[in-house]
A and B are shown apart, each in its own frame.
Chain A
Amino acid sequence: MTRGRRRWAGRAAGAVAALLVVVAVAGPWLAPHDPTDVVGLPFAPPGAGQPLGTDYLGADVASRLLHGGRTVVVLALAAGALAYLVGGGLGLAAGLFGRADTVLMRPVDVLIAVPPFLVLAVLAAGTGRGAAVVVLAAALANVPGIARVVRAATLEVGVRGYVEVALARGETWIRVAGRDVLPNIAALVLTDVGSRISAMVAMVAGANFLGLGLQPPTADWALMVAENRAGLALQPWAVLAPALAIAVLTITVNLGGDELAARLRRATTTVAA
C-alpha cells in the first residue's frame, strides 16, 4: 500500500510537471494580452479582466505569467541537453578508452570542486550577461557529475567484453557507444535526472533573478519576481504568482524525475531478466 501511495504521488508530480511545461510552452498562445501591453495602472489588485492584477508597469500579471514560463523551461532544457551531451560524451570516452581517462577526468575532478556560481560569475564578467552565459554555466555545473556517473557505468559494461568484441570487429566507437553502451547504462545514468533538471531550472532562474541573464522587458518568471519585488506590499500576486510557479515547477520536476527514473530502472531490469 505504501509503495502504491508513493508511486501515485510520483505520478501526480510528473503529471503536474508535464502540465506546467505544456502551459509554459503553449502559454503565449493562451494569454489574453501581449506581455508588454499596458492594461491598467501599475500594481493594480486583481480584478475583472486581470485575474492576478497588474505588474510594476501596468501589464497583466496573468498574461506575463503565461508568457514567462517558456524562457525558464527552454533555458533549463537547453542547459540539460548541453550538460548530458558534454558530460555523457566525456564519460563515455573516458570509460571506453583507458588512455584518455586521466586526460579527460582530471579537469572534471577540478571542476566538481568549483562552486557553480563562480563559473557563472567568471563567464558573465568575461563575456557579458545574457541567456547563453546562463545556459552554459548551468550546464557546466552539471557536466562533472554526469561525466563521472557515465564513466563509472561505462566501465562496468566495458568489462563484460562485448564492447571490446564490437571494437575488434571494426565498428566505430561512436556506434559502439550508441548501440551497445548507452542503452545499457541509461537507467543508471538517468537515476538523478529529475533533481538535475530541477537544479538547472533553479540555477537558470537564480541567474536571471540577479540580472545576469535575460533582461527586461522579457517576460520571465524569475525576472517578474525581481522587477515586482518593490510592490510586494501593494500587489503581492505580481511577485507570488511567478515565485510559486517556479517553486511548483522545480518541486514537481524533481519528484516526477524520480518516478521516471524508477520506471526506467524497472523496464531495464525486466529486459535483463
Chain B
Amino acid sequence: MPALPSPAQMPEVARRSLLRGAFAGAVLLGAPALVGCRSDAPAGAGSLSPRRGGNLRVVVSGASTTDDVLDPHLAGSWGGGAVAKNIFDKLVAHDNDLVPRPRLAEKLEPNADGTVWTVRLRRGVTWHDGKPLTAADVLWSVRRILDPANKLPAAADLAMVDAAASRVVDDHTVELRTTQPMADLGGLLAGWYVYVVQDGTNRFDREHPPVGTGPFRFDGWAPGERTKLVRNDRYWEAGKPYVDSVEIILAAEADARLNVLLSGQADIVHEMSYVQAKAEQGNRSLTIHASAVGTFHSFNMFVDREPFTDPRVREALKLAVDREAIVESVFFGYGEVGNDLYGKGAPNYADAIPQRVYDPDRARALLREAGKENLRLTLHTADVTPGYVQAALLFAEHAKRAGITIEVSKSAADSYWTDVYLKRPFTQTSWGSYALEWFYGQALVSGAASNETGWRRPAWDQRFALAMRVLPGDAADVILAKGAGAGTATPAQKAALRAELGLDRPAVEQYLDWMAGVLRGDLGRSSFSGRPVTEIVAARLPNTLVLAAVATAVLVPVAVGFGAWAGARAGRTRDRVVTTVAVTVGSLPEFVTATLLIAAFAFAVPVLPAVSMVAPGAHPLSTPEILVLPVVTLVAVMAPQSIRMVRAQMSEVMATEYVRMARLHGIPERRIVTRHALRNALAPAMPLLAGSVTWLVGGIVVVETVFNYPGISQDLVRAIGQRDLPYVQSVTLLFAAVTVAGYLLADLAVVALVPKLRTAGGRRS
C-alpha cells in the first residue's frame, strides 16, 4: 500500500541514561491508533499479498476547507500529510516497518563535531515534470522552510540548521551547516514537514499544481473534500507504487469517515474511534488494524500557575483519576494505563517508577495538607481526538471522590489548538511515540514550542542541551520519528496570523471595514484562516444551492397539491388527515426528523446512505441517492406550514360566491378547483410560501450537519463557534439575499397568476 502517514511511529534508537527523568505536570494514558480496511480493497490493504493496479480510496481525518492546503511545508493535518507524503519525498523518512531509511538522500556524513553535514543525493530521481532532482532543489527547500518571512511551521523542525551558511557542493551534493553540534541531523530531516520541493516553487494551489518526486502525481483537488493522485511511472523506487491512482478523502468526524467506508466509497479509513472499532469487530467486510505503538493521551497542568504550583496539588490530581476506568470505557480496552511521565515503551524510559493508582482518599489528604480542600478547577477540552471529551468527563467524575470539582469546558474543535491549548492551565494533548529527547525538546525545555506543562527550569535546560551535544556520532541512520500531530508548530503560526489580521482592533472598526469591502465586492478574509471568504464560500456554496433548489422543487408541488386537495374539501376526512399529519410532522425539529429517517432508512432498513458525500468535481445530482434523505427532511419540516397556508386560502376561495355560481352552472367540481379556485387561492398564498424560505435557511444548516453534506454549513457552524465574524457576516448577507430573491420570485408569480395585475397601473388599490 502507498505510504500513508504511519500513526505514532516508534523509534528504534538507543539513547543514553542522561535523559532519564520524570516530569511533573501530566497524567498519561496510552492507546493505539486504529485504521480500518475493507477486505476487498486493492493492493492488499486487507490481505497480505499486494496486488497491482486499481484505484485506492482512503478516507483520512482532515480539517475543514479552510485548513486543507497543498503546500507540503504547511500541511499539518493528517489529510494534508497524506497528500504531501504521496506527492513529495523527504531526504530521510520512515519505512512501513518503522525503521528510518534514506530516501532522496543516499548518505548523510557529519564532520567531526557534527556541525557540517554532507548530504549525498540519490541519482536518477526526476520530478513529475521530467526535470532531474538536483542539490539546488534541496537547498531551496531548506531555505524556504527556514525563511522567517514564510512563517512556515516546518521551520521548527529545522531550527538548528543554518540556512545561510549551507551551500550546494555539486549537482548531487549539499552541505548543511547547523548552528550547534548535532548528533542526528537525519532525525530532523525526517520531520513531518521536511519535504523536498522543486527549486523556485513557492505556491501550491490549483493554479500551481504541486510537482514532486513522490510515487504519485497530482491529479485533482477539491479543497476540504478530496485530492486525486495518479501513479508516477518514473518513480525512482523500483516496482512501486502498486496502485494506479489514489484518492485521499477528508472527513473531520470519525462517524462520517466510517460511513464513507461502509457505504463503499472508500477502501481504507484512518483514525477510527474506539467505539467504532468495538462496533465493527464482527464485521467481516472490514479488517481493523491497531498500530503496534500508540498515542499518549495526557492531561496537562501548568506547573507555574496556581493552584498547580504546589506539588501536593499536582500529586492529588494524579491520584484522583481512575486510569483503568478510562482505558476500559473510553478506549474500550484498546489501551493501557500510563504513568506520569512520557515515553512508556521507549528506550531508556524509567520503568522503575511505580505505577500510580487511583487513590481518592490519599488525594483528599494531600489537598488538606496543602490547604486546598474542595478544590475547584476548569479542565479545557475539545472533540479534537476520539476520547478527549469522554476522558475529561470521566476524570471529573473520579475527582469528585477526592473532593475536587472539575468543571469540563468544551471548546470548538477547530480552535482548540490555537486558542486553548498552551493558553489554559489545565488541558489535554496527545503525542505519538517519539524518542524521549525529541519529545523533551518539543515540550519540556523553557522555550519549547509545545511547553504544555509550563516546565521552565534553566538548570534542566542546560543538562538537556549538554545531553543533545554529546550523543553518539554515528547518527546518519538514526532517526527520530515525528508521529501523530499534536499540532505543535501550527498554534504559533496561527497566533501570528491572528495578529496580522488585526483582530485586536475595535469591533465597530472591523465591521465598517468589512462593509466597505462588501460594497467593493470583497467579502473580506476569514478571521480564523486568513483565506478570502469568497474563496471558502465559493467552494461549497454550489452544493448548498443544489440542495436548496431540489428541496424547493419538491416542496412547491407537495405544498400546493396537498394544500389544494385538502382545502377543496375543508372539514372532510381527507382535510382532517392532511392537517393532522402536517401538524404532527411539522412540529418536529429538523435534527429529530433527520435522525429518525437515518435510523429507519440507513440502519433498520439500509436502503439509503446515512452520510451524503459528493465526489470532487462531481455534481451532487450525479449521485441522487445522497440527496433523498436530506431533501425528505427539509420537505417534511417545511411542507406542513405551506400546506396549511394553501389549504386555508383554498377553503376560503371554495366558499366564495363565484364558486357557488360555477357549481350552479353545472361546471364539474374538478374543473372548478383546478381552473377557477386554485389560481385565486395561490395568489395570496405565494408570499407566504416565500416566507417559508426563511425557515429553509435554518433547516438546511441542520440537515447539512446531520448528513455531513458538503455544503457551507460545516464551515458556518465552525465559524460561529470560532466567532469568525467576517465569515458569519458574509454568509448571513448571502442568505439574506437569497431570502429577498425568494420574496421577489413570489411577487412575480402572483403577477403571473392574476392577469389583472399585469396591465399597466393595474395594481390593486
Residues in A lying within 8 Å of B, measured CB to CB: 6, 36-38, 41-43, 56-58, 113-118, 120-122, 124-126, 128-129, 195, 198, 201-203, 205-206, 209-212, 215-217, 222, 225-226, 229-234, 236, 239-240, 243-244, 246-247, 250-251, 253-255, 258
* Inter-subunit contact A254/B279 (CB<8 Å): no
Inter-chain CA distance A230–B280, complex, in Å, is 12
* Inter-subunit contact B591/A125 (CB<8 Å): no
The reply to whether the CB of B251 lies closer than 8 angstroms to some CB of chain A is: no
Inter-chain CA distance A180–B586, complex, in Å, is 36
The reply to whether the CB of B254 lies closer than 8 angstroms to some CB of chain A is: yes
CB-defined contacts of A203 to chain B, threshold 8 Å: 589, 698
* Inter-subunit contact A57/B723 (CB<8 Å): no
Inter-chain CA distance A117–B389, complex, in Å, is 27
Contact with A along B708-744 (1 / 0, CB 8 A): 0000000011011101110011011001100110010
Instruction: Select A113's contact among B596, B694, B702, B731, beta carbons within 8 Å.
Output: B694
* Inter-subunit contact A116/B702 (CB<8 Å): no
Chain A residue nearest to B602 (CB atoms) is A232
Inter-chain CA distance A201–B599, complex, in Å, is 22
With both chains docked as a complex, state the minimum distance between the C-beta of B601 and any C-beta of chain A, in angstroms. Answer: 12
With both chains docked as a complex, state the minimum distance between the C-beta of A54 and any C-beta of chain B, in angstroms. Answer: 9
Inter-chain CA distance A240–B592, complex, in Å, is 9
Given contacts A42-B275, A121-B720, contact A243 B694 (CB under 8 A): no
- The count of chain B contact residues (Cβ–Cβ below 8 Å) is 65
Inter-chain CA distance A246–B693, complex, in Å, is 24
With both chains docked as a complex, state the minimum distance between the C-beta of B604 and any C-beta of chain A, in angstroms. Answer: 9
The reply to whether the CB of B681 lies closer than 8 angstroms to some CB of chain A is: no
Instruction: Select A43's contact among B255, B275, B394, B717, beta carbons within 8 Å.
Output: B275
* Inter-subunit contact B279/A234 (CB<8 Å): yes
* Inter-subunit contact A209/B589 (CB<8 Å): yes
| B369-420 residues at the A interface, CB under 8 angstroms | 389-390, 393-394, 396-397, 408-410, 412
| Sampled A-B contacts (5; CB under 8 Å) | A212-B721, A215-B410, A216-B410, A230-B275, A243-B595
Q: Which of B193-201, B290-298, B325-333, B660-668 contacts A (4 or more CB under 8 A)?
A: B325-333
| B143-196 residues at the A interface, CB under 8 angstroms | none
With both chains docked as a complex, state the minimum distance between the C-beta of B258 and any C-beta of chain A, in angstroms. Answer: 9
Chain B residue nearest to A215 (CB atoms) is B410
* Inter-subunit contact A205/B698 (CB<8 Å): no
Inter-chain CA distance A243–B589, complex, in Å, is 9
* Inter-subunit contact B332/A42 (CB<8 Å): yes
* Inter-subunit contact B588/A236 (CB<8 Å): no
With both chains docked as a complex, state the minimum distance between the C-beta of A203 and any C-beta of chain B, in angstroms. Answer: 7
Chain B residue nearest to A36 (CB atoms) is B397
* Inter-subunit contact A57/B390 (CB<8 Å): yes
The 5 closest A-B pairs by CB, nearest first: A117-B698, A115-B697, A202-B589, A125-B728, A115-B694
* Inter-subunit contact B397/A114 (CB<8 Å): no
* Inter-subunit contact A210/B275 (CB<8 Å): no
* Inter-subunit contact B720/A124 (CB<8 Å): yes
CB-defined contacts of A217 to chain B, threshold 8 Å: 393, 396, 408
Given contacts A36-B396, A57-B393, A58-B329, contact A247 B717 (CB under 8 A): no
The reply to whether the CB of B52 lies closer than 8 angstroms to some CB of chain A is: no
Given contacts A56-B275, A117-B697, A239-B599, contact A209 B591 (CB under 8 A): yes
The reply to whether the CB of B622 lies closer than 8 angstroms to some CB of chain A is: no
Given contacts A38-B325, A38-B394, A247-B588, contact A118 B275 (CB under 8 A): no
Inter-chain CA distance A36–B255, complex, in Å, is 23
* Inter-subunit contact B329/A57 (CB<8 Å): yes
Given contacts A210-B701, A216-B408, A250-B587, contact A121 B592 (CB under 8 A): no
The reply to whether the CB of B204 lies closer than 8 angstroms to some CB of chain A is: no
Given contacts A57-B394, A205-B591, A243-B592, contact A210 B697 (CB under 8 A): no
CB-defined contacts of A120 to chain B, threshold 8 Å: 698
* Inter-subunit contact A56/B390 (CB<8 Å): yes
The reply to whether the CB of B705 lies closer than 8 angstroms to some CB of chain A is: yes
With both chains docked as a complex, state the minimum distance between the C-beta of B491 and any C-beta of chain A, in angstroms. Answer: 21
With both chains docked as a complex, state the minimum distance between the C-beta of A42 and any C-beta of chain B, in angstroms. Answer: 5
Chain A residue nearest to B698 (CB atoms) is A117
Inter-chain CA distance A209–B698, complex, in Å, is 13
Given contacts A206-B591, A230-B254, contact A211 B396 (CB under 8 A): no
What 14 new A-B contacts, CB under 8 Å, besides A57-B390, A232-B599?
A42-B332, A113-B691, A113-B743, A121-B716, A121-B720, A121-B732, A122-B728, A126-B725, A205-B592, A216-B408, A225-B595, A233-B603, A250-B588, A253-B587
With both chains docked as a complex, state the minimum distance between the C-beta of B732 and any C-beta of chain A, in angstroms. Answer: 5
* Inter-subunit contact B589/A114 (CB<8 Å): no
Given contacts A57-B393, A118-B736, A255-B583, contact A212 B720 (CB under 8 A): yes
Inter-chain CA distance A203–B729, complex, in Å, is 21
* Inter-subunit contact B725/A42 (CB<8 Å): no
Most chain A C-beta atoms within 10 Å of own C-beta, residue among B275, B590, B716 = B275
With both chains docked as a complex, state the minimum distance between the C-beta of B84 and any C-beta of chain A, in angstroms. Answer: 29
* Inter-subunit contact B736/A222 (CB<8 Å): no
* Inter-subunit contact A129/B695 (CB<8 Å): no
* Inter-subunit contact A247/B592 (CB<8 Å): yes
CB-defined contacts of A246 to chain B, threshold 8 Å: 588-589, 592
Chain A residue nearest to B407 (CB atoms) is A217
The reply to whether the CB of B135 lies closer than 8 angstroms to some CB of chain A is: no
Instruction: Select B695's contact among A116, A205, A210, A236, beta carbons within 8 Å.
Output: A116
* Inter-subunit contact A113/B590 (CB<8 Å): no
* Inter-subunit contact B279/A233 (CB<8 Å): yes
Inter-chain CA distance A253–B589, complex, in Å, is 13
CB-defined contacts of A114 to chain B, threshold 8 Å: 694, 736, 739
* Inter-subunit contact A251/B408 (CB<8 Å): no
Inter-chain CA distance A118–B599, complex, in Å, is 29
With both chains docked as a complex, state the minimum distance between the C-beta of B29 and any C-beta of chain A, in angstroms. Answer: 16
The reply to whether the CB of B278 lies closer than 8 angstroms to some CB of chain A is: yes
CB-defined contacts of A195 to chain B, threshold 8 Å: 583, 587
CB-defined contacts of B743 to chain A, threshold 8 Å: 113
With both chains docked as a complex, state the minimum distance between the C-beta of A21 and any C-beta of chain B, in angstroms. Answer: 15
Most chain B C-beta atoms within 10 Å of own C-beta, residue among A198, A211, A244, A255 = A211
Given contacts A37-B397, A117-B697, A233-B603, contact A247 B596 (CB under 8 A): yes
With both chains docked as a complex, state the minimum distance between the C-beta of A149 and any C-beta of chain B, in angstroms. Answer: 15
CB-defined contacts of B736 to chain A, threshold 8 Å: 114-115, 118
Given contacts A38-B329, A42-B390, contact A125 B279 (CB under 8 A): no
The reply to whether the CB of B759 lies closer than 8 angstroms to some CB of chain A is: no
CB-defined contacts of A210 to chain B, threshold 8 Å: 701-702, 705, 717
CB-defined contacts of A42 to chain B, threshold 8 Å: 275, 329-330, 332, 390
Instruction: Select B584's contact among A56, A58, A215, A251, beta carbons within 8 Å.
Output: A251
Contact with A along B271-285 (1 / 0, CB 8 A): 001011011000000
Inter-chain CA distance A222–B576, complex, in Å, is 31
With both chains docked as a complex, state the minimum distance between the C-beta of B28 and any C-beta of chain A, in angstroms. Answer: 20
| B670-722 residues at the A interface, CB under 8 angstroms | 691, 693-698, 701-702, 705, 716-717, 719-721
CB-defined contacts of B732 to chain A, threshold 8 Å: 118, 121-122
* Inter-subunit contact B735/A118 (CB<8 Å): yes
Inter-chain CA distance A216–B154, complex, in Å, is 35
CB-defined contacts of B586 to chain A, threshold 8 Å: 254
Inter-chain CA distance A134–B260, complex, in Å, is 33
Inter-chain CA distance A237–B65, complex, in Å, is 34
Inter-chain CA distance A247–B636, complex, in Å, is 13
CB-defined contacts of B591 to chain A, threshold 8 Å: 205-206, 209, 222, 225-226
Inter-chain CA distance A128–B255, complex, in Å, is 27
Given contacts A57-B390, A126-B725, A250-B587, contact A113 B275 (CB under 8 A): no
With both chains docked as a complex, state the minimum distance between the C-beta of B579 and any C-beta of chain A, in angstroms. Answer: 10
Chain B residue nearest to A55 (CB atoms) is B390
Most chain A C-beta atoms within 10 Å of own C-beta, residue among B330, B589, B596 = B589
Chain A residue nearest to B413 (CB atoms) is A211
Chain A residue nearest to B590 (CB atoms) is A206
Inter-chain CA distance A121–B409, complex, in Å, is 21
| B581-614 residues at the A interface, CB under 8 angstroms | 583-584, 586-592, 595-596, 598-599, 603, 610
CB-defined contacts of A225 to chain B, threshold 8 Å: 591-592, 595
